[in-house]
Amino acid sequence: MIQITGTTKLLGVIGDPIAHSLSPVIHNAAISTLDLDYIYLPFPIAATELKTAIAGFAAVGLEGFSVTIPHKQAIIPLLSHIDEIAEAVGAVNTVWHTEAGWQGTNTDVAGFTSPLINLQDLSRLNPVILGNGGAARAVVYGLYQLGCSKINVFGRNKHKLATFRDSWSGSAVEECLTVRGWEELDSYLSQTNLVVNTTPVGMHPHQDESPLMRQQIDLLPPQAIAYDLIYTPRPTKFLKEAGMRDLQTIDGLEMLVQQGAAALKIWLQKDSVPVDVMRTALEKYLAERGK
Ligand code: NAP
């Protein structure tokens, strides 16, 4: 149990809406286990109130906070410094306070790569990324960090795909990245060893949908890994069908837990936090709600 006293330090998450956020579940489980004098709270902040809210956070001495939709890009000009990861991704999901002001990073990248880093021969990954939205940016940068030299991103909107590609121009990622229309997908599925779904297709309550048809999943080689960023339901239809083919599957829960763990390490200035506790708390919470 967390006991709030006059000395309790504040952490939190900002977004709009924020009621669905699972971050309070993850972080307060860790805080409670570590018996720390902290509390992690949800803050619903409208886009028009972002600047005022950040100034208020500084005034009340908030130590750090998570950032979710719609503030991940808008917060950047309000921070004193962002690191090279946030700079490359173009979005911040974790902010902490220092004497020099608010600092920002993006722990979605570490969250995404954490289930992959124990794979052998990471540079041989030949990934296919489905979707070119915000999460795809963290995925592309994570794969670049892992040493992938060929990253194919597939999208349904040519204009948005071109904007996505152009946003990396001049960076080291540009060399590795190719964007392609959805109609080209099938010929790449038969050659890939990692498919990452970054679209919301298949997410609760649309669990009967999948970004890939069964015939497309059948194209994947036997050694391919199917990775879905969605964490409700578990598994998604995409992962269920990949599992039926005995492909290795990874769902989005680990990414969610690991991005949170990476943020908590920054706020607490610790090398390790109880990731197992965070994961178990989240699994229990989702199971209790039938998700
Ligand atoms: P986003 O910025 O809205 O991007 C969604 C992408 O999916 C866009 O490229 C969109 O294409 C595409 N898309 C949507 N519906 C599609 C369809 N029917 N067919 C093909 N493409 C489609 O969303 P996001 O923030 O990247 O989030 C995407 C998913 O990742 C969500 O399910 C989210 O929950 C999950 N996620 C998980 C974690 C985690 O920690 N596990 C972290 C971040 C995000 P258009 O632009 O053409 O619409």
3-state SS string over 38-92?
A: EEEEEEECCHHHHHHHHHHHHHHCCCEEEECCCCCCCCHHHCCEECHHHHHHCCC
β-pair partners for 169? none
Q: Is 260 in the pocket of ligand 1 (CB under 6 A)?
A: no
Q: pTM score > 0.85 for this model?
A: yes
Q: pLDDT at position 147, please?
A: 93
- Residue 199 beta carbon below 6 angstroms from any ligand 1 atom: yes
Report, as an integer, the average pLDDT of 103-110: 98
Distance of CA 72 to the CA centre of its chain: 12
Q: Is 281 in the pocket of ligand 1 (CB under 6 A)?
A: no
Q: Nearest Cα to 13, choosing from 26, 2, 32?
A: 26
Q: Which of 237, 234, 238 shows the shortest CA–CA distance to 225?
A: 238
Q: For residue 96, give the DSSP letter.
A: E
Q: For the segment 114-164, what is each residue's pLDDT rounded down to a tens digit? A: 999 988 788 889 999 999 999 999 999 999 999 999 999 999 999 999 999
Residue 272 has pLDDT above 90, yes or no: yes
Q: Whole-angstrom Cα distance, residue 58 to residue 97?
A: 8
Which of 229, 236, 251, 279 most suits a substitution to test ligand 1, by most atoms within 8 Å of the C-beta?
229
Number of Cβ within a 10 Å radius of residue 28: 18
